[in-house]
Structure 1
Amino acid sequence: MIGEIDRLAAAAATELTLRSRGNRWTHLPLCVVEAVFSINARYGGVVRVCRAHADHFSLIDPLLPAATADEVIGTGREVPVDTLADVGHRLGAERLADEVFRSRGRTSPRGGILKAEAAIRCAQVLVGVGVHRIGDVAGLLADPGRLVDTERRLAEVPGPGAGARLSYLWMLAGDDHRVKAVGGGPRDMAPRVGPGVTDSRARVTCANPNCLWK
């Protein structure tokens, strides 16, 4: 394991672009929306979708510097992810895409579902496992059994529910042990760690507390 960590750290240092946390979303539904809509999309367009959602629901201070995000997160001003699940149930994916997100992007150009539908389904999973606000995510990540079950359910959602995309959701919700890398992250690092090392094995290596990059 130590050899894998050393090789992964060396590869990450030369091939990954790491940025410190700047601004962050202060409402969990926006974290879900960004994680889903960033699939095969330019970031500027993703931000426009998130802003459209925030404007539609009149979210207070939706994007703040990380240092001051607790002015909303964990207070009565924070809106739970239930609102995304509820509006999805009320409007359906088609109307949510047209009337709220103003984007009909799909999770894949071939047979993918509307990203609006994927966002609804992710929100429903989170509500179903008792994750309503950003502060609830830390408790989920600290409970391995509950986390495995939640990630299994999210993995059933086409597009955003597995691997690096799922890690990105947790990162957006405040887990600083995960990053959004330019490129494939652990997937691209796997062949550099050693022969026969899979994406999953690289991810386990990244999660090791002795690893320099996560």
Structure 2
Amino acid sequence: MRPIAHSSTRMSQISAVLTRDEIARGRKEMYYHTPRELESLVNACERDLGDDALWFSPDGYPASLALCIIDAVFSIGVKYVGVVNLVRRYRAYRVGQTGNADADGGLELMGTFEHLDGPEGWAAKLENKQRTSTKSGILKSEAVLREAHILARHGIWTVRDLLAARQAGRLSDIKADWCAVPGQRSAISWSYFLMLARVLPEDDVPRASTDKRPQLGRTSDFDDAVAGVKPDRMIKRYVANAIGVGGAGLSDRKAAALVKAAAGAKGWDVIALDHAIWRFESGRPHELKREDW
């Protein structure tokens, strides 16, 4: 395990702290956290999660844009076991078509909707009729299809295309369209989509400096502060307990920013840390046993 510098100077450098003048001008405190909060989270991770070399590798679909979209959209606001079951059924359905879900791109995903007569037929066949919202929400299956079409309009048919879009600095435009689909406005599903594809938005555009705190209100800076973290209820509960606040008093983005800052402080992979916290908080094993090596 790599030691962390506990000095207040070091903690200040990796914390996004707002000045009182900025707060007075009405800036949102989505990312605001104190050095003490960051240190508390790091200490909790060291205590609970053990050696990062033993953490389970996070799930993802580095060769399947289709599964990245499905998982990202359907995982919002539900217990993840439902998503696991959906992915299992989609894989079985694709086997029945002599296809391979784990290699499906956007074209193959769209083809499944055509074969099943649209979002309603797709939802019925795969036994998941969840909606993006209980009030006037659309079927999540329809949201999946809309996202697939949006990505296609941007020339994104595969994960490789997505990586190329990142290198070309085009992710922010794609994100804006993704978030326009009902139920995706918070951008949590977008962030998780990138995580599942193993694409982080912090490389989207070149940075002149990495030691400046985010200027709140700029989309790209919001992405930098939370990239690689999906602040679902397990992540938020763990972070809230670690820093001693009630869950209702912790925003999604503050929780995500703290996890990413903790990863930066220790040199941990941020996606691996997110996954380890999620497994620990949900009562699942989060690390390999040394005898399994």
C-alpha distance in 2 between matches for 1:41 and 1:202: 18
Shift of 1:40: 1.9
Are the aligned partners of 1:30 and 1:54 in contact in 2 as well (CA < 8 Å)?
no
Match of 2:105, as an amino acid?
P
Match of 2:13, as an amino acid?
I
- Counterpart of 1:133? 158
Shift of 1:32: 0.8
Are the aligned partners of 2:230 and 2:256 in contact in 1 as well (CA < 8 Å)?
no
- Counterpart of 1:65? none
Are the aligned partners of 1:28 and 1:173 in contact in 2 as well (CA < 8 Å)?
yes
- 2:50 pairs with 1:24: no
Shift of 1:51: 1.5
Q: Name which of 13, 17, 35 aligns with 1:2.
A: 13
TM-score w.r.t. structure 1 length?
0.70
Shift of 1:204: 7.9
Shift of 1:203: 7.0
Match of 1:96, as an amino acid?
W
Unaligned runs of 5+ in 1: 63-77, 193-197
Match of 1:178, as an amino acid?
G
C-alpha distance in 1 between matches for 2:252 and 2:233: 14
Residues 1-214 of structure 1: pairs in structure 2 closer than 5 A: 2=13, 4-5=15-16, 6=35, 9-10=38-39, 12-13=41-42, 14=44, 20-25=56-61, 26-58=63-95, 59-60=99-100, 62=102, 78-89=103-114, 91-99=117-125, 101-144=126-169, 146-160=170-184, 162-175=186-199, 178-183=228-233, 206=260, 214=270
C-alpha distance in 2 between matches for 1:139 and 1:20: 28
Distance 1:83 1:162, change over 3 A: farther
C-alpha distance in 1 between matches for 2:74 and 2:252: 23
Shift of 1:52: 1.4
What secondary structure is seen at the aligned counterpart in 1 of 2:178? helix
C-alpha distance in 2 between matches for 1:121 and 1:182: 23
Identical-pair percentage:
26
Shift of 1:86: 3.4
Match of 2:155, as an amino acid?
G
C-alpha distance in 2 between matches for 1:126 and 1:154: 8
Q: What value does the CA root-mean-square deviation take over the aligned residues?
A: 3.7
Shift of 1:164: 2.3
Deviations 1:120-156 (A, max 9, x none): 1111111111111122222222333x11110000011
Distance 1:203 1:39, change over 3 A: closer
Distance 1:138 1:110, change over 3 A: same
Shift of 1:172: 0.5
C-alpha distance in 1 between matches for 2:235 and 2:187: 10
C-alpha distance in 1 between matches for 2:141 and 2:157: 19
Match of 1:60, as an amino acid?
N
TM-score w.r.t. structure 2 length?
0.53
Query: What number of residue pairs does the alignment pair up?
Result: 192
C-alpha distance in 2 between matches for 1:7 and 1:132: 44
Shift of 1:157: 0.8
C-alpha distance in 1 between matches for 2:235 and 2:168: 24
Shift of 1:87: 3.2
